[in-house]
Amino acid sequence: MARGKVYIIGAGPGDWELISVKGLKKIKEADVILYDFLASAEFLRFAKKKAQLICCGKADGLHLLEQAQINKLLSKFAKQGKIVARLKGGDPLVFSRGIEEVLYLKNKGIDFEIIQGITSAFSAPESFGIPLTRKGKYSSIAVLTGRKSNGDKLDAPDCDTLVYLMAVANIRNVVEAILASGKSKNTPCAFIERGTSPEERIIPGTLKDIVDKTKQYRVKSPAVFIVGEVVNYGKKIRDDKFK
């Protein structure tokens, strides 16, 4: 029997066409596709007719499959000689449990390959004309979590641009941590909800008013929170969206 292989594929942030050519090729070849919520629908029409499709999404505490079950399924199908596509939102190793899957497969001696994806951390702001850096002006970026499961203090390093994922529910604490690090209340910031998708939306503000705006505009996950002067470029480039 041919040896199976698992492809850990980044599906990109929202616009399905942002997947890599290599990622889409593997979806078309796969015997089994295990996909997350943020990486679903559109891709499945490229699957082979006989491909087995398994949703293993996790969102807001709902886990269709626990991580240990996902690991076991990946290994089981590969041992059966199948081509397995493991589809994950954004980049498969950015704030994701993709690396746990990779380590599990490595330990079991199963062949795998990581196919990178476009992360929401960069693409959601860029969708509104917000760059992450600018030559000679803004040269450092940090990508952070807005939620720590162990209740640890949130990070707010001294960088020109901060990008927080998973920050919506915890925005008050995120802003507190950034202000405590020394940034001014007037620092521009923005939430970008469902970036790169047809429903994408930007809620711009400053560190002074963004907590109120998050409530006022009912910001929902998935959304990226970006902080820094770079947000002002978005105001110039996509002025139609910054009302």
| Distance from C-alpha of 194 to C-alpha of 200, rounded to nearest angstrom | 5
Task: Verify binding: residue 119, ligand SAM, rule CB under 6 A.
Answer: yes
Q: Which is it for strands 223-227 and 161-165: parallel, antiparallel or unpaired?
A: antiparallel
| Distance from C-alpha of 55 to C-alpha of 131, rounded to nearest angstrom | 33
Which residue lies nearer to ligand SAM by CB, 14 or 188?
14
Q: Which stretch binds ligand SAM (CB under 6 A): 43-51, 114-122, 134-142, 169-177?
A: 114-122
Please measure the distance between the N-terminal and C-terminal CA atoms of the chain and give it in whole angstroms.
60
Which residue lies nearer to ligand SAM by CB, 99 or 180?
99
For the stretch 86-116, what's the b/e string if a residue is b when 16 or more beta carbons lie within 10 angstroms of its beta carbon?
A: bbbbbbbbbbbebeebbebbeeeebebebbb
Catalytic residue among 25, 58, 76, 235: 58
Q: CB of residue 3 vs ligand SAM: minimum separation in angstroms?
A: 28
Q: CB of residue 152 vs ligand SAM: minimum separation in angstroms?
A: 17
Q: CB of residue 64 vs ligand SAM: minimum separation in angstroms?
A: 15
Which residue lies nearer to ligand SAM by CB, 27 or 94?
94
**Is 36 one of the annotated active-site residues of the chain?**
yes
Instruction: Kindly give, in sequence order, each residue whose CB lies less than 8 Å from that of residue 44, ignoring residues fewer than 6 positions away.
Output: 33, 35, 53
Site for ligand SAM in 172-231 (CB under 6 A): 192, 194-197, 221-224
**Is 58 one of the annotated active-site residues of the chain?**
yes
Q: Give the number of other CB atoms < 10 A from CB of residue 209.
A: 15
Which residue lies nearer to ligand SAM by CB, 71 or 119?
119
Asked if 138 and 161 count as a contact pair (C-beta separation under 8 A), the reply is yes
Q: CB of residue 49 vs ligand SAM: minimum separation in angstroms?
A: 29
| Distance from C-alpha of 177 to C-alpha of 189, rounded to nearest angstrom | 14
One of 162, 165, 210, 226 touching ligand SAM (CB under 6 A): 165
Chain residues binding ligand SAM by CB under 6 A are 13-14, 38, 89-91, 94-96, 119-121, 124, 165-166, 192, 194-197, 221-224
Instruction: List, by residue number, the catalytic residues.
Output: 36, 58, 166
